[in-house]
Amino acid sequence: MPGHTPRSEPRWEVRQVRPDDPSVEPLLAGLMVEYSGRYPEWGGGADLDREPTTDWDPPDGAYIVILEDGETVAGGAFRRADATTAEFKRIWTSSAHRGRGLARRVLAELEQLAATRGYQRVYLTIGPRQPEARQLYLASGYTPLFDVDEHPTPFRNLPFEKALVAAP
């Protein structure tokens, strides 16, 4: 078409990083905003900076970010819960980039990485005011460890688990 400039496809890059990498900052800042809005009575995301950073270091843990054209648009992390279980935390997608499958991509990347590290199971929790996350985990094969028909109480986290497929 004359005069039409084709729109370039976004370039997603999945990168494993250290918790202090600058690409993690937008993820943590985004989570703080999200948690503060949804859970002001819990102090928002104030606990994000209280956990020891060594929890996330390889080989027991990992941080990943998804970059699009150099911008952090999604990410997540895991740490060791026990010898066979990885705990997923800090899974986030930028509000400007939701609805594009990035959260599913983060989950898939974290699951694959955790399996290659020898974990057999994933455990995670979400707050009661995260219906999008609840749907994501249910649709992604996670088993709720709570009664899905019961209305969640305002101060109770909702736990999920999933068995991991052994890495080749």
pLDDT digits (tens, 9 = 90+) for 94-137: 999 999 999 999 999 999 999 999 999 999 999 888 999 999 99
pTM: 0.87
Per the DSSP assignment, residues forming a β-bridge with 161 are: 123, 143
Give the pLDDT score at 158.
Answer: 92
Residue 92 has pLDDT above 90, yes or no: yes
Q: What is the pLDDT, as a whole number, of residue 42?
A: 72
CA distance 81 to 148: 24
Quote the pLDDT of residue 9: 56
- Rounded mean pLDDT of 4-22? 77
Q: How many residues does the chain have?
A: 168
Share of the chain above pLDDT 90, in %: 63
Q: Taking the alpha carbons of 31, 92, 126, 59 in that order, is the dihedral positive or negative?
A: negative
Range 15-44 average pLDDT: 88
77 has a pLDDT exceeding 60: yes
Pairing mode, if any, of strands 12-17 and 62-68? antiparallel
Report the largest interatomic distance among the alpha carbons of the chain, rounded to a whole angstrom: 61
pLDDT of residue 167: 61
Whole-number pLDDT of residue 85? 98
| pLDDT tens figures, 24-33 | 999 999 998 9
> Residue 45's pLDDT is what?
60
Q: What is the DSSP string of 51-119?
A: S-GGGGSTTT-EEEEEEETTEEEEEEEEEEEETTEEEEEEEEE-GGGTTSSHHHHHHHHHHHHHHHTT-
Mean pLDDT of 8-12: 67
- Which of 77, 159, 74, 71 shows the shortest CA–CA distance to 117? 77
The pLDDT value recorded for residue 80 is: 97
* Spatial separation of the C-alpha atoms in residues 152 and 155, rounded to whole Å: 8
What average pLDDT does this structure show over 141-156? Answer: 84
> Which positions ≥6 away from 23 have C-beta within 8 Å?
15, 17, 65, 67, 72, 75
Domains of the chain: residue spans and CATH = 12-163 (3.40.630.30)
Pairwise CA distance, residues 32 & 44, whole Å = 6
